[in-house]
Structure 1
């Protein structure tokens, strides 16, 4: 996989930020057709800036017959990967009209957008922003007739490095825990397949919570069958068991199940994932966006653990200083001072284990809002109660209780 050095990324992003206006984006369409050149899957149209090498690489990579894991023509696979040295391809794959050959099924239709490293940096190295800009220009669905040539597009980038509004999408404990577990797995594996009832929002928010400089390293597809030809780092396989088995035989390939996410004990969790948990828990998206957006453009993937630890300490420390200087109103925080309050917290743990979302939210807000010694003592007591309860019960994988255990492990900072 071709990558740029930190110096190259820094120069590309710095130069692009000084350049106003639109970005030139090349495009190409790969699908099944009978043309004057050949029959079958091929590039049927491309813009003037597509070089012979670009065309060769796109043809090798292109998804052919039966490459989609879904049969609904309205479903789309979003894809992102490097294209040779110093270029990136963002594409949308979907089902088109019936195969011209009459062999059954629909043609697989892929619309590709190719950017230079400098152009991609103008979009904050975020493939979802490229797709949004393309959709704002034209309808990307296949028409009744295939085009024979395409123009170079002029796209207008917009938005800061990190969008606070994207962080606000994940304000429920179950969503937050899913994102934290996903981030941990994505950062600690060389290749990750994800399965179950996922949607593209998780991946979009994951990119939004990464520093700009490391985003290009996370190539992905969301609904294409597994293929060694397409060397993605993140691979969505839906509920297709055969594809999951095929991918699982590949060395170093891990699995994230959206319907039953694996737990990651706090002590072994990637520090950047822990920082994401703190940022979501504190519910300060603007501050979190500011901190991530200020990560140096020279930062590398291997720098994320130390940066994540620093951010976590900085945000938690600031909240503690603010709480000491200006105690929050009694009605806005949970500060148990009696045995009745203590018993209420223990009851909330029991209710949370049954999948009570309101109880999870109450426990979450309790320790996010008041980091003091009294609350720490109560947290430790609730953690002991939580561990005892889980040891006494049989928890089936994939149930609400199994998901609740993962969330409680984060809130109470313990593992079982």
Structure 2
């Protein structure tokens, strides 16, 4: 499966300052870039704790496209406002390709991560290449504390079907919880579910599921 990629972060480039799409592959349209900018976090939006140093995010773009992204901290903010740069690297694909493949989004995230696609780049090139992703990281059910029990999953399914937006407070590895949740969803509900694992909830980023620390 060939996918596009794009990077959204705070970096002066091409006459622009602050947060914007600084790099993308040729298949990423202006409409995709605007949608990615609307969904991606900026300064101080990433929640970092001992078990969660990054956020994995899944959300729609335009024209039947989907973004699966990794948000991490980068260098100190160049603007001098304090704190660290928030850096989001997305892989972008057609929802129909995901539907046909039978793969779930976090499996593709793990594949891209294993290939080094999503690594932090202090000065990324403005033009990125398409990436070939396969199925080398399939979900493995692990009966550990990060997995919700079946009754809890059924309740979450019902709430998502009803159109609720969920803010779930969790301890431990939230990416693993998200993987368990997405794996459990019926296929069409999965394809309709946007999710973030460590971003501050915001009306500007209308994720259906926001995972945050239990003590937030």
**Which TM class, normalised by the smaller chain length?**
0.7 to 0.9
Measure, in 1, the Cα distance between the counterparts of 2:117 and 2:62: 27
216, 222, 235: which one aligns with 2:210: 235
| Aligned positions of 1:247-326 closer than 5 A | none
Residues 267-288 of structure 1: CA deviation (Å, up to 9, x unaligned): xxxxxxxxxxxxxxxxxxxxxx
- TM-score, with structure 2 as normaliser: 0.87
Answer 1 or 2: which has greater strand percent: 2
Measure, in 2, the Cα distance between the counterparts of 1:99 and 1:184: 42
144, 152, 159: which one aligns with 1:182: 152
166, 180, 183: which one aligns with 1:192: 166
44, 48, 56: which one aligns with 1:66: 44
Once the two structures are TM-superposed, the CA of residue 85 in structure 1 deviates from its matched residue by: 3.0
Answer 1 or 2: which has greater helix percent: 1
8 Å Cα contact 1:179/1:202 also seen in 2: no
Residue 53 of structure 2 corresponds to residue 78 of structure 1: no
Once the two structures are TM-superposed, the CA of residue 159 in structure 1 deviates from its matched residue by: 7.9
Measure, in 1, the Cα distance between the counterparts of 2:13 and 2:215: 33
Once the two structures are TM-superposed, the CA of residue 43 in structure 1 deviates from its matched residue by: 0.5
96, 117, 120: which one aligns with 1:118: 96
Distance 1:71 1:157, change over 3 A: closer
Distance 1:240 1:97, change over 3 A: farther
Greater RCO between the two (CA within 8 Å, min separation 6)? Answer: 2
Distance 1:53 1:224, change over 3 A: same
CA RMSD of aligned residues (A): 2.4
Residue 66 of structure 2 corresponds to residue 88 of structure 1: yes
8 Å Cα contact 1:186/1:234 also seen in 2: no
Residue number in structure 2 paired with 1:378: none
Measure, in 2, the Cα distance between the counterparts of 1:182 and 1:111: 31
- TM-score, with structure 1 as normaliser: 0.47
Q: Which segments of structure 1 move beyond 6 Å, counting only runs of 4 or more?
A: none
Larger radius of gyration: 1
Residue number in structure 1 paired with 2:199: 224
Measure, in 1, the Cα distance between the counterparts of 2:146 and 2:29: 43
Residue number in structure 1 paired with 2:176: 201
Count of residues paired in the alignment: 211
Once the two structures are TM-superposed, the CA of residue 219 in structure 1 deviates from its matched residue by: 1.1
Measure, in 1, the Cα distance between the counterparts of 2:49 and 2:73: 8
Once the two structures are TM-superposed, the CA of residue 180 in structure 1 deviates from its matched residue by: 2.2
Measure, in 1, the Cα distance between the counterparts of 2:23 and 2:137: 31
125, 129, 138: which one aligns with 2:116: 138
Once the two structures are TM-superposed, the CA of residue 185 in structure 1 deviates from its matched residue by: 3.2
